[in-house]
Each structure stands twice: as structure tokens, then as C-alpha cells.
Amino acid sequence: MVAILQSPGTPTQADFHAAISSRSDRWFAACLKITRNRDMAEDAVQDALLSAWHKRHQFDYSARLDTWIHRIAINAALQILRKNRPAAFETLETDVADTSDTPMSNRAQQELGESLAKALTHLSEFERVCFVLKHLEQWRLKEIAEEIGSNVGAVKQGIFRAVRKLRPRMSSLQGEQT
């Protein structure tokens, strides 16, 4: 079930429950990829849900409720990351379960996720955030630059460096994909 409001008006508690039950795992996974810390990711999702609930009257009805909350969760994760910048981050141990159909595709997705999580640990914080927001969250370069307080050129360089560092670490998977 996709959390789309059927009629204009402030999202209701039922709308939020529907969004949470169908999409909270995606919000958590996105926050986990950004923060690389399970506790921080949980805090980001919780902060995002509280913020969305308190600002529900500002919801733009041209968007889906779950997409709006997802964006708030990403921003919350970035905010938590900014606050804890000097802290050392834990490695990404697990990811949210895959919903693929076959056991083979499940295993391939799991291996890809594990390989990517391990490879992301070799990036700087700036490179990792830029890469995750661009390639995993599908943000535009200008949006990333605005959110992290940088310029588009620096974001492009961060993504370029991230891809250059990730490519050799992920090369073993290239032959497996057909």
C-alpha cells in the first residue's frame, strides 16, 4: 500500500500509520547508509516522524506522504551526522531485508549490499554522503550541494572520487552480473 492522500487536507494519524507500516524500513535503510550507525539511523527516523507529524499542515499535496517523510528522514540523518561529526562511526553490519522474488536474487542483492557497505567505509564522510544521496537516494546535484552547504562543483568532485574509490573495490561483482 502506498501512502497517498486521497483528498486534500492535513494528513491524519491513519495516513501516517499507513506510511510507517509500508515505508519505515526504507527510511531506516537510507539513514543507515548515511550515518553508518544503527542508533543514529533510528534517531533520524524517529526525529523525522516527529517533525513530519508536527509539520503535517505544511504537507504539499502534490507529493506522496511517504516520499515527504523520506526526505525529512534524510535531512534528519544529515543533521545528526553534522552534530556528531567528530565521532567515529561504526561499520555497517546489516541492511534492511530485500524483497526480491527468488533465493538467488536475494543472495545476489545481499552480497551487493554487503560489498557496497564494506566499500563505503573507505570513503571520506563527504564522499560517502554525496555518493549515497546521488546514487542511492537519487537527489539532484544542486539539492545535495544546498543540503550539505557546499557547491555543485565540490559535490561532483566528491561523487567522482567516491566512484573512483568504489570501482576497484566492487570490481569482483562485475563479472557476476550478466
Query: Looking at the domain assignment, is residue 2 inside a domain?
Result: yes
Total structural domains within the chain: 2
Give the contacts of 7 (CB within 8 A, at least 6 positions apart).
Answer: none
More confident residue, 18 or 147: 18
> Domain range spanning residue 15?
1-90
108 and 41, same structural domain?
no
Count Cβ neighbours within 10 Å for each residue of 109-138 and write b for 16 or more, e otherwise: eeebbeebbebbeebeebbbbbbbbbeebe
Cα separation of 111 and 117, whole Å?
10
Question: Which of 38, 57, 90 delimits the end of a domain?
Answer: 90
**pLDDT confidence of 175, banded at 50, 70, 90?**
low
Q: What DSSP letter does each residue of 7-42 carry, written as one string?
A: SSSPPPHHHHHHHHHHHHHHHHHHHHHHH--HHHHH
In this prediction, residues 156-164 reach a mean pLDDT of 93
Q: Could you tell me what percent of the chain has a pLDDT over 90? A: 28
